[in-house]
Structure 1
Amino acid sequence: MRLIKIVCLVFIASFLSIDSQAQSQKDKSNKNISTTEKKILDQGLVDIQSINPEILVELKYATPDNFMKKNVYGDLTHAYLQPEMATKLSKASTLLKQAKPGYKLLVYDAARPNSAQYKLWDALDDLKIPPRQKTQYVADPKIGSNHNFGCAIDLTVVDEKGIPLDMGTKYDFFGPLAYPRSEQEMLKQGKLTAKQISNRNILRKAMVQSGFTVNTTEWWHFDGMSKKQARAKYGMIK
């Protein structure tokens, strides 16, 4: 009987030790999560790199490397999506790897708080974009972008050396050169090359086969569902 008690005590002590270690790791992890990101996680979104670590992330709006030339996202530094969107993106990564071994997806933008949407919207005034044309470049924050529901992704492809493929324009380029719908016209005018369009198609093929749809004015933007569906299924990220 005494031996049984000793074994039980050892088992309980071992269990408590493991539980304590797990809680310690969880506490350490939570310390690395910003206030903004905690709110996003609390809404059920996931860090895409926790689903597929091979996907690279460089949030442009968390750096000065964007059309506003400043950090818009503050303490948001990781890329988040709704779980089903992250699963689709992981599938796209796998398909890309199969088609082009060594190539990887590089995410420029994912879930976006609506508060940041207002900053992007207001910045168009500084660029002298006429009010009637603003929605060509940034969704009206009163309505919301698919990014505001965690159902859209902006990204590109990098080669074996980690260098982004030449897509003909930079990310967030304003104008027809960035429009998928205008590619053939731009090709005829000599403003895009066949190689640049081919590079876009590498990205496009992987994304479309994974269930995303193409945006007609941004080669880098893909939607996982319509905005109407996203609004009905998910709440807006504030």
Structure 2
Amino acid sequence: MPFVTIAPPTFDVDLDLRYATADNLTGRPIFARPLCLLHPQAAERLQVAVRLAAAQGLRLHIFDAYRPPAAQWALWNALPDPTFIADPRIGSSHGRGVAIDLTLATPDGDLLEMGTDFDDMRPIAYHGDTSISVTAQRNRALLLGIMAAAGWQHYAFEWWHYQLPDAASYPLVEDAAMGPALM
């Protein structure tokens, strides 16, 4: 089943695919090109989330979606902590195309305060952390509400990570199955 490319104008989102840049926890690009892909069922639920965010006067700002196995290994090699990075020998929901890392932004593209940046691998990035500002707590709750209403599940240790229910039931996808090389 071919994955869906997530990009404007079909998806009214902002793309900031950090793993195609050095602005990520590895300090180097781990994708050769910025391409945002999702399983068709995840893409459908993302469209619902886009509409729900728009109803709040907001946009979705995407950091990551499908992640090829080589990229998962690069992250694991940089931080082999299963709290934050799925062991590539087991596979991740990103490697199945049913996970997305994102935040909320204003219509002008300004990111809402979330208490940490994307890929901040400390307990302060946990959804339930209350040491962050009340504004950031409220924004995390708003993102959680939008994504939950669209049918996504949150990951308790990363405020930015959402996945489809029963993510492990979807098959892992090798990047070769996606067509032209992603890496």
With the length of structure 1 as denominator, give the TM-score of the two structures. Answer: 0.70
Structure 1, unmatched stretches of 5+, are 1-42, 125-130
Deviations 1:80-133, CA, capped at 9 Å, x for gaps: 0001100100100101111x22x1001100000011111111112xxxxxx6xx
Deviation at 1:225, TM superposition (A): 2.5
1:152 aligns with 2:99: yes
- Contact preservation (8 Å) 1:165, 1:199: yes
2:60–2:105 Cα contact (<8 Å) kept: yes
Secondary structure of 2:158's aligned partner: coil
Paired-residue identity, %: 33
Alignment CA distance shift 1:52-1:170 (3 Å): same
Q: 2:63 is paired with a residue of what secondary structure?
A: strand
Higher share in strand: 2
Distance in 1 between the 2:9 and 2:43 partners?
7
Q: Is 1:104 equivalent to 2:51 in the alignment?
A: no
Q: Which moved more, 1:54-63 or 1:220-229?
A: 220-229
Q: Please tell me whether Structure 1 or Structure 2 has the larger radius of gyration of its CA atoms.
A: 1
Post-superposition, which runs of at least 4 consecutive aligned residues in structure 1 deviate over 2 A?
A: 49-53, 225-228, 234-238
Checking the alignment, whether the CA contact within 8 Å between 1:55 and 1:104 is kept in structure 2 is yes
Q: Give the C-alpha shift of residue 198 in structure 1.
A: 0.6
Number of residues paired by the alignment?
175
Q: How much does 1:199 deviate?
A: 0.8
* Distance in 1 between residues matched to 2:140 and 2:94, nearest whole Å: 21
Picking from 95, 105, 108, the partner of 1:161 is: 108
Q: Which residue of 2 aligns with 1:95?
A: 52
Q: Tell me what 2:173 maps to.
A: 236
SS at match of 1:157: strand
Q: Which amino acid aligns with 2:137?
A: I
Look up the match of 2:22.
Answer: 64
Could you tell me which amino acid in structure 2 is paired with residue 170 of structure 1? D
Q: TM-score, normalised by structure 2?
A: 0.90
2:178 aligns with none
C-alpha deviation, 1:228, in angstroms? 2.5
Residue aligning to 1:139 = 86
- Aligned partner of 1:52: which letter? T
2:138 aligned counterpart, secondary structure: helix
More helix by share: 1
Match of residue 121, structure 2, among 156, 174, 193: 174
Q: Is the 8 A contact 2:93 2:163 kept in 1?
A: yes
Assess if the C-alpha contact under 8 Å between 2:25 and 2:75 holds in 1: no
Q: Deviations over 1:43-89 (max 9, x none)?
A: 510102268331111100001111111101113x1210001100100
Q: Which 5+ residue runs of structure 2 have no aligned equivalent?
A: 176-183
Q: What is the alpha-carbon distance in structure 1 between the residues aligned to residue 23 and residue 92 of structure 2?
A: 21
Paired with 1:53 and 1:151, the residues of 2 have a C-alpha distance of 16
Go from structure 1 to structure 2 and tell me whether the alpha carbon gap of 1:83 and 1:108 turns closer, same or farther (over 3 Å shift): same
Shift of 1:209: 0.3
Q: Which amino acid aligns with 1:201?
A: A
- In 2, are the aligned partners of 1:51 and 1:86 still within 8 Å (CA)? no
